[in-house]
Amino acid sequence: MPNVSRLFIIMAIVFGILGFALGISMGINQDFTYRHLHAHINLIGWASLALLGVIYHVYPELERAALPRTHLVVAGLGTRYS
C-alpha cells in the first residue's frame, strides 16, 4: 500500500480540482448559489487534506501505526459526506 502521506496529497488534489472547477464555473456564470459548497470543498477537502499529507510526510514515524490508515479513511469520508 502506498504511504498515507501520498494518499492524503492525492485526495487533496482531487478535491482541489473539484473546488477550483466549481469556483471557475460559478465565476463564469455569475451564479454564486453554491459558494458555501465551494468554500467547504476548498478548505476542508483541499487545504486540510494537503496539510495532513505534509504532516505525515515530515513525520514519517507517524505512519507506522494502524491509526493513520483509519485517519485517512475517516478524513476522506468526512470530507466527501459532510
pLDDT digits 0-9 by tens, 51-79: 999 999 998 888 888 889 899 889 888 87
Q: Which amino acid is at 57?
A: H
Residue 52 lies in domain: 4-81
Q: Cα separation of 59 and 30, whole Å?
A: 43
Q: Cα separation of 36 and 73, whole Å?
A: 24
Where on the phi/psi map is residue 65: left (φ > 0), alpha (ψ -120 to 50), or beta?
beta
pLDDT digits 0-9 by tens, 6-26: 999 999 999 999 999 999 999
Crossing angle for the helix pair 67-81 and 4-29, nearest 10 degrees? 10
In contact, 12 and 49? CB cutoff 8 Å: yes
Number of domains the chain is built from:
1
Name the pTM for this structure. Answer: 0.84
Q: Is 69 helix (H, G, I), strand (E, B) or coil?
A: helix
